[in-house]
Structures are given as C-alpha cells and as structure tokens.
Structure 1
Amino acid sequence: MRHLLVFPERDSAEEAAETVAGWFPSLGVPPVVRETLAGEDDAEDAQWVVVLDDPGGGLQPQDLARLDALAEEGEGWREPG
C-alpha cells in the first residue's frame, strides 16, 4: 500500500518525511517529490508529496490517523496512492 502526504510547502513536506521516518523506522525515510496533481494547470501550483510505501500493509487505523494529523499540521492531506 502507498500513502501520499501532500503539502503546499517543501519545508512542511521535508519535516513530515523526517517525522514519519522516526515513527516508522522499518519503512525508511520516505522520499519527497514535487508533483503536479490532476487538475493543476500551472507549475507553480505543484505540490510537495511525501511518498510512504507500506508494502506489507502494516499501518493500522491509528497510524493512518497520526499521518492525517501530521499532514493537517502542515496544511496538507493524506491520500492513498
């Protein structure tokens, strides 16, 4: 399973990636990429995305709630990838 944490600012995305790596060390440090999401016409509207791979599907509902809260703190959101 893949989860995407989407942020408007690079700093927020990088901080979230570090936090996630601390919470779930077995998953490693997730990469941060700049991506234009569907419906975005302008490159300036591109978002910063933390790509969190959970190959075994081991993240539990409470873990996903923590990821949701983390994303919201950075004015972002989580979506399954």
Structure 2
Amino acid sequence: MSDVRHVLVLPDRDAAEEVVQALAERFGTDEEPLVVRDALAGEDDAEDAQWLVVLRDERGVLDPGELDEFAGEWEGWREEP
C-alpha cells in the first residue's frame, strides 16, 4: 500500500467544507480528509488565507486531473505534492 496524498487548495473555509462533503458523494471516499488553514507568507489578515483539503488515496484510485477539475468548481486547484 502506498501513501499517496492529494492536496486541494481552496479560497476559503466554506469552499473547503463543501469540497469535503462533495468528495464522498462524487468519488466515494471513505476517509475524512484533513482540512488545514494555510496563511499566505507575510499575511496576517485572516482573509488572506487558503484552505487545504488533504486527501489520502492509498489505493491510488483517484485521478489527479479529475481532482483538479473538481477543485476548480470552487475556484481552487490540486497542488502537486
């Protein structure tokens, strides 16, 4: 089993929470993804933060292109690990 992780970068917390809900529906994920606030370097304002959704894919069944397109629906993207 490999430890494959996908990181989806979202513009705000609401988008990140919606993505977590939609992941299970769209991709049938079993495990709850990790949601992390990522303050941009040098920014103190809470508005200037991205939210990361870290998703484990031990079986390697999630397509990176589909995840990138999926994150784009919330104005986000998939970051290469």
Asked if these proteins are the same fold (TM beyond 0.5), I'd say yes
Alignment of 1:18-57 (within 5 A): 18-36=21-39, 40-44=41-45, 45-57=48-60
Alignment of 1:1-81 (within 5 A): 1-36=4-39, 40-44=41-45, 45-59=48-62, 63-81=63-81
The change in CA–CA distance for 1:66 and 1:35 in structure 2 (over 3 A counts) is same
Q: TM-score, normalised by structure 2?
A: 0.76
Q: Displacement, 1:22?
A: 1.9
Q: Displacement, 1:68?
A: 1.2
Work out the CA distance in 1 between the residues paired with 2:11 and 2:66: 19
Relative to its length, the structure with more helix (as a share) is 1
Residue ranges of structure 1 left out of the alignment (5+ in a row): none
SS of residue paired to 1:68: helix
Residue ranges of structure 2 left out of the alignment (5+ in a row): none
* Alignment RMSD (CA, Å): 1.8
- Percent identity reads 49
The change in CA–CA distance for 1:64 and 1:48 in structure 2 (over 3 A counts) is same
SS of residue paired to 1:67: helix
